[in-house]
């Protein structure tokens, strides 16, 4: 059975699975689905049109499934989809999508959103992402898996942060961050590769040397960037992470690329 505290308010259209817990003074709005093992600690608001996957824990005073912060929103039905095994800490805010965008905001599995983290409308946050205290995503941002966003950083709307990247605290990310990149500063600049993250992924010394050589040739070499891009593709294209970085760069994007000399 689900456990619903007598002080909680649960809309009649909400679906609460067996084993879910709705704590004291929490509010579960219309068209919300809480899967098995979900825990709303206390004073949690799940506003509406939201699904929360199994074993996700939401801490006090978080607002989940709030209206998009968009002046064009006129009350249309839009959604928030949260995966499994996430931890959403105090005062975090996750907004639903907009009709002008995809109509849905998505958070993957096994993510940690620390106190005050914000995911804006139409964002996509993939699996195993950590957002430190007060990290903020503008609308339509896309964050790849196994990414770390430092405290008080802000990612511009429509920006992409590739998987395995690390964004330093207080960084203002106005440009796309390559997969496995390391960026910090205001405005953020590309400072190298996330070597620690790559080591944790199991990369050995030889592959790391090749990745670092690739980085130097692409971002610090001579000639036009487009020419360097083709050269490194021919030289280092056997490593899947490098192929991923190259595909990310070539992919159509709404923001420019974060470079070592980015303003």
- Strand 27-28 to strand 9-10: parallel, antiparallel, or no bridges (unpaired)? parallel
Phi, psi of 200 (to 5 degrees): -65, -25
CB 94 within 8 A of CB 117: no
Cis-peptide into 130, omega within 30 deg: no
**CB-based contacts of 215: which residues, under 8 Å, 6+ apart?**
192, 193
CB 62 within 8 A of CB 93: yes
DSSP state of 67: P
List the catalytic residues. Answer: 121-122, 139
């Amino acid at each position: 059975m689900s456990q619903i505290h007598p002080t909680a308010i649960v809309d009649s259209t909400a679906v609460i699975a067996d084993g879910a817990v709705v704590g004291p003074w929490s509010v579960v709005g219309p068209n919300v689905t809480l899967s098995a093992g979900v825990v709303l600690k206390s004073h949690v608001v799940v506003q509406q049109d939201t699904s929360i996957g199994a074993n996700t824990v939401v801490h006090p005073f978080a607002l989940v499934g709030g209206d998009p912060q968009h002046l064009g929103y006129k009350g249309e039905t839009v959604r928030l989809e949260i995966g499994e095994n996430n931890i959403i800490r105090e005062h975090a805010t996750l907004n639903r999508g907009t009709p002008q965008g995809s109509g849905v905001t998505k958070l993957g599995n096994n993510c940690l959103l620390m106190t005050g983290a914000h995911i804006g409308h139409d964002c996509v946050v993939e699996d195993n992402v950590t957002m430190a205290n007060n990290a903020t995503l503008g609308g339509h941002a896309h964050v790849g898996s196994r990414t770390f966003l430092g405290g008080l950083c802000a990612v511009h709307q429509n920006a992409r942060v590739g998987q395995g990247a690390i964004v330093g605290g207080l960084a203002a990310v106005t440009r796309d961050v390559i997969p496995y990149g390391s960026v910090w500063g205001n405005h953020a600049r590309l400072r190298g590769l996330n070597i620690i993250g790559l080591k944790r992924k199991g990369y050995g010394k030889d592959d790391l040397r090749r990745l670092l050589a690739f980085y130097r040739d692409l971002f610090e070499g001579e000639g036009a960037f487009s020419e360097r891009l083709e050269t490194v593709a021919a030289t280092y294209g056997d490593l899947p992470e490098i192929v991923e970085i190259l595909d990310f760069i070539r992919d159509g994007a709404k923001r420019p690329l974060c470079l070592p000399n980015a303003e």
